[in-house]
Structure 1
Amino acid sequence: MSTIVKKAWGYRYAVLVILWLVYIINYFDRMAVLTFLPFIQKDLNLTPVEVGQLASVFFFAYAAAQISAGFLADKFGAKKVMYVAITVFTFVTAVTGMVKTFGQFLALRIGLGLGEGHHFAPAIRAINNWFPHKERGRAVSFFATSWAVAPAIVPVIVTSISIYFFSGNWRPVFYVLAIPGAIGIFLLWRFIADSPKEMIAKGKLSKDQDIDGDNDSSVRKLSKEEKRKSYGVFMKDVNFYVFTLCLFCQLAVYWGTTTWLTSFLVTQHGLNLKEMGLFASAPYIVAFFAMMLGGWLMDNVLHRMKPVALIGYICSIPVLWMLGAVEKGNTGLLLTLLLLVGFFVNLNFGSIYAYLPKLYPKEVVGSATGLANGIGQMGAFVSPLVAGYLVKVGANGAQDFSRVFIFFAIVSAVAAVCAIILKENKANNVSVKLINNEKSIS
């Protein structure tokens, strides 16, 4: 028994790390497309508007999948939904290497969005099951760093594979990406369960391993009437919608900049494939530390999301505005602004996704997260599409992204207004009231 206890101690952290690794694999697939986007655009002879449409249709499918993913995770368990998700997006990514036309690419982008969209809400649900209330801010913040680590390493890795193994050809890289997908499926199968109680029941964890009572995720099965009332708590909460609009704006800025960054670096600043990979990674290197800092501030210093959000959104406005105006050849200023954008745009990512798990009980947090993220992801749908129309194409084919980054700065300002309006104390009181009501009927 003592051996089992030693192996089981802190197993929730092992679960968190595995979920983090699997989500990095998720990002490998989508970031590979965005990294090679200027070269795919050239090979398929696509206009900036068509590129914006391809980026946006992915996020439309992704947003729609978020909503169903939350409810499916609540009904069937997080692990099963993640299994299906990773299988679908791994297959679609491999097939992307064969794309020949705009129509084919459009269909694959929809398929990738549906596959990857069913991954996020179940992962958040799993974290909520495994971690006590007081640690969820840090846990979600660590998980959110996968969104920084993957964009930081993927451009360098996939461009290096392309350059050193396939003579600069982007297509074979997508076949290679089926390998990490298979690894992700194995990790889910071997190490993940929906809850500590499930692993204890299977004899894989000892009963006295370090998961406290708050964290015991034996979620009580609610009746249909109880579920309807529980959903009503967040559906009728004004702060839920303010939060969702704030998330909409944050995702619009993040995915707008992420989608167009490689094209901005190649077409406006004339960077080659290798240089582009390095510069495209820069914002996400600092993003890792920004996300961890935001979650730590929320849990240990400020105890609220709002101040973290305001720092991130307000400081993003000038750096985004200036980034689009950097003159070609001024690589020092370009790199500095990329690092600042990476820090401020990502500062609130961990804390914003920790808001709902701290706000609502575990019986409905998957549904609340799925619905909020589904609506919020529409920001990621709208932003690349609008940006595609804002790119100015000169007579010689040169592209100017200054208006694109002004648009992102304006969206950051709207997010700041939402953060000011958001009333966290009221929302927390609602959560406590619901939890107390559940205890009284159990």
Structure 2
Amino acid sequence: MLNFLKPTKKDIKIPEDKVLQTYKSYRTLSLSGAFVGYMGYYLVRNNINLSTPLIQNQLEVSKAEIGLITGSMLIAYGVSKGLMSALSDKADPKRYMALGLILCALINIILGFCNSLHAYIACVIMLGVFQGMGVGPSFITLANWYPKKERGIYTAIWNISHNLGGGIVSPIISKSVFVLSPVLGITVADLNEKYWQISHCYVPAVLAILISLYVLYAIKGSPENEGLPSIKEINAMRGYEDVLSTQKAKSDLSSLEIFKSYVIKNPGAWGVALMDTFVYLVRFGVISWLPIYLLEAKGFTKGQMHTAFLFFEWAAIPSTLFAGYLSDKIFKGARMPPAIIAMIIIFFMILGYFTSNNLNLVIFYAAMTGCLIYVPQFLCSVQTMEVVPSFAVGSCVGLRGFMSYVVGAALGTMLIGKMVEVFGWNAGLYILLSSCILCILCAFFVHIYSKKLNKI
């Protein structure tokens, strides 16, 4: 670990009468930093999905080759997420997260100069590598500052950051064209077609760099490193008891030892990883192909496609918050029942998305799929923090991230792209429906394991 990325302990001690006040202030700031920071990662990631029709026209490539571009990024991200999240267990969350965000922005700037398939693939692979630096620090921050009793709702709040970031890319790209046109002296038409890289790559990159500055300001280290008592002591002062708080951090263990002892041998860790694999297959099987599918198969205009893309992302915001509340308050910490219900409904929404020819209904089915697909993904994220001790959260996130992207997202992009190329869009439908069923089965296993572990 590079020295400047290592966590530092402040040489102060917060007075006892100010502990709870300071704790609440720091954890709110930390949550806001993780929220805005992770939103920034999606500004310089989902812009690639929106660029696929333009890249396809620019390079005159097939759907399978477009799938290779998006799939290469996701595979690189999955591998990196596994490694980078494990390394983040030993890093300062804010510096680690901010550095990754700046590097993603720089790769986006380079992407604006690409003019060949191989150049795009090389750049998106590097983008995927640096994207892996975002999620680990987020979960470590949540685990450091929030007890199990509160993680459902607060993780739900953090989780909508990527819906906001992923959804806001579309209006940012669309509106920046009109803002920049008079400034640059370029017509709107030319900015949309000839110089599309400015709005699709450069604008999100600049915003991501600005966001990294807020990350450095807002996110705090562990309570102990900020001069506070341990989270276990703070929870006791607040009258909370955390199931995993009795497991002391193994600061003498390396990242590899933590991964081998507390993740690889943990059935719960594998359960959430496999469940998330099928969630991601569905998620990326829809979102990665939504622009091309709606333009080509459904006859949407570009404006209608952008609307559907935005609804897919933003429809998840209220459902994620509601699911967090349900899992905390109604299901008493059980995360999987709401996830199973959501996946059953998604099964039928995907059927409607592929079979309907009505413009409004297609947008509705896409929005409902987006509304619900992030529910099992988010609940799987919360469950990840609860099947391992807090000092192994990054490593468990790494395994889940590796499986969900290298297997799930890659199949949702490259496999579906190849199958659609050969057999048509119905092949994509069958793959997505099968994934829904397998996800439900995995969720049942995780629920049973979690009940046994935590005695919910």
TM-score (norm 1): 0.86
Paired residue for 2:390?
Answer: 362
Find the partner of 1:172 among 187, 191, 198: 198
Find the partner of 2:344 among 307, 311, 314: 314
Q: Which amino acid aligns with 1:172?
A: I
Q: Secondary structure at the match of 1:269?
A: coil
Query: 1:192-271 to 2 correspondence within 5 Å?
Result: 192-200=219-227, 220-224=249-253, 228=257, 231-271=260-300
Is residue 344 of structure 1 aligned with residue 372 of structure 2?
yes
* Compared CA separation, residues 227 and 323, structure 1 to 2 (3 A): closer
CA distance in 2, matches of 1:238, 1:5: 36
- CA apart distance, 1:164: 5.3
Are the aligned partners of 2:259 and 2:396 in contact in 1 as well (CA < 8 Å)?
no
- CA apart distance, 1:231: 4.3
- CA apart distance, 1:150: 2.1
Q: 1:128-180: CA deviations, max 9, x gaps? A: 11112211122221111112222322112212323553521421121122221
Q: 1:385-437: CA deviations, max 9, x gaps? A: 0111132589xxxxx634323321221111112122x14354465479xxxxx
Are the aligned partners of 2:87 and 2:255 in contact in 1 as well (CA < 8 Å)?
no
Find the partner of 2:447 among 420, 424, 433: 424
Q: For structure 1, which segment, 8-17 or 317-326, has the greater mean C-alpha deviation from structure 2 after superposition?
A: 8-17
Paired residue for 1:182?
Answer: 209
- CA apart distance, 1:279: 1.8
* Compared CA separation, residues 314 and 228, structure 1 to 2 (3 A): same
Paired residue for 2:428?
Answer: 404
Paired residue for 1:43?
Answer: 58
Q: Secondary structure at the match of 2:289?
A: helix
Q: Which amino acid aligns with 2:354?
A: G
Q: Which amino acid aligns with 2:213?
A: F
**Structure 2: segments with no counterpart, 5+ residues:** 1-14, 182-187, 229-233
Find the partner of 2:111 among 96, 109, 119: 96
CA distance in 2, matches of 1:390, 1:164: 40
Q: Secondary structure at the match of 1:295?
A: helix
Q: For structure 1, which segment, 34-43 or 10-19, has the greater mean C-alpha deviation from structure 2 after superposition?
A: 10-19
Q: For structure 1, which segment, 108-117 or 287-296, has the greater mean C-alpha deviation from structure 2 after superposition?
A: 287-296
Paired residue for 1:71?
Answer: 86
* Compared CA separation, residues 225 and 382, structure 1 to 2 (3 A): closer
CA distance in 2, matches of 1:69, 1:230: 12
Q: For structure 1, which segment, 368-377 or 222-231, has the greater mean C-alpha deviation from structure 2 after superposition?
A: 222-231
* Compared CA separation, residues 346 and 220, structure 1 to 2 (3 A): closer
* Compared CA separation, residues 89 and 234, structure 1 to 2 (3 A): same
CA distance in 1, matches of 2:278, 2:219: 33
Are the aligned partners of 1:312 and 1:346 in contact in 2 as well (CA < 8 Å)?
no
Paired residue for 1:438?
Answer: none
Q: Secondary structure at the match of 1:36?
A: helix
- CA apart distance, 1:54: 0.7
- CA apart distance, 1:60: 0.8
Aligned residues: 420
Paired residue for 2:403?
Answer: 375
CA distance in 1, matches of 2:255, 2:292: 50
Paired residue for 2:9?
Answer: none
Are the aligned partners of 1:160 and 1:274 in contact in 2 as well (CA < 8 Å)?
no
- CA apart distance, 1:354: 0.3
Q: 1:283-305: CA deviations, max 9, x gaps? A: 22221111112221111111312
Is residue 325 of structure 1 aligned with residue 351 of structure 2?
no
CA distance in 1, matches of 2:54, 2:254: 53
CA distance in 1, matches of 2:167, 2:211: 19
TM-score (norm 2): 0.84
CA distance in 2, matches of 1:229, 1:262: 41
Q: Secondary structure at the match of 1:271?
A: coil
Query: 1:277-316 to 2 correspondence within 5 Å?
Result: 277-302=306-331, 303-316=333-346
Is residue 19 of structure 1 aligned with residue 34 of structure 2?
yes
- CA apart distance, 1:80: 3.1
Is residue 118 of structure 1 aligned with residue 133 of structure 2?
yes
CA distance in 2, matches of 1:263, 1:404: 13
Query: 1:118-157 to 2 correspondence within 5 Å?
Result: 118-157=133-172
Q: Secondary structure at the match of 1:46?
A: coil
Q: Which amino acid aligns with 2:335?
A: M
Are the aligned partners of 1:159 and 1:273 in contact in 2 as well (CA < 8 Å)?
no
Are the aligned partners of 2:99 and 2:212 in contact in 1 as well (CA < 8 Å)?
no
Find the partner of 2:420 among 373, 378, 391: 391
**Structure 1: segments with no counterpart, 5+ residues:** 202-206, 395-399, 433-442
CA distance in 1, matches of 2:173, 2:246: 39
CA distance in 1, matches of 2:217, 2:258: 36
Paired residue for 1:191?
Answer: 218
Q: Which amino acid aligns with 1:367?
A: S
- CA apart distance, 1:124: 0.7
* Compared CA separation, residues 19 and 11, structure 1 to 2 (3 A): same
Q: Which amino acid aligns with 2:102?
A: T
CA distance in 1, matches of 2:176, 2:427: 33
Q: Secondary structure at the match of 1:358?
A: coil
CA distance in 1, matches of 2:255, 2:165: 40
CA distance in 2, matches of 1:317, 1:226: 38
- CA apart distance, 1:218: 12
Q: For structure 1, which segment, 177-186 or 163-172, has the greater mean C-alpha deviation from structure 2 after superposition?
A: 163-172
